């Protein structure tokens, strides 16, 4: 299913959030290093060059400012393998 993936810089690392149409794939997941976040983004199927570019960009941004990846078809089992579990939500 198509998913929107966002990353942001926290005081202690990188946070990844995944949204699917009408679903949130659980709370954002925090990683204490860019390398750990990279491994999750690679598992989602993003290209290394794009990951490098986005991680470099987010490192220059203020804390908690979201950076969006292109919409990606990420199989549900890949999300589950990375501990992202879907929960429905109502958009306002």
pLDDT value, residue 34: 94
pLDDT value, residue 24: 61
pLDDT value, residue 1: 77
pLDDT value, residue 2: 87
Per run of 10 residues, the mean pLDDT along the chain (length 92 residues) is 91 92 74 96 97 96 94 91 70 49
Closest CA to 74 of 35, 19, 14: 19
Phi, psi of 22 (to 5 degrees): 75, 5
Half-sphere exposure of 26 (CA within 13 A, CB side): 12
Eight-state DSSP code of residue 62: P
pLDDT value, residue 89: 47
pLDDT value, residue 56: 96
Tell me how crowded residue 13 is: count the other CB atoms within 10 A of its CB: 13
Pull the structure tokens for residue 1: 């299913």
């Amino acid at each position: 299913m198509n998913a929107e993936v966002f990353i942001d810089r926290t005081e202690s690392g990188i946070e990844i959030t995944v949204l699917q149409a009408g679903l949130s794939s659980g709370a954002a997941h925090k990683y204490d290093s860019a390398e750990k976040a990279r491994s999750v983004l690679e598992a989602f199927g993003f290209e290394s060059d794009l990951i490098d570019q986005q991680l470099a960009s987010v490192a220059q941004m203020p804390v908690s400012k979201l950076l969006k990846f292109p919409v990606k078809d990420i199989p549900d089992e890949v999300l589950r393998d990375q501990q992202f579990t879907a929960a429905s939500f109502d958009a306002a």
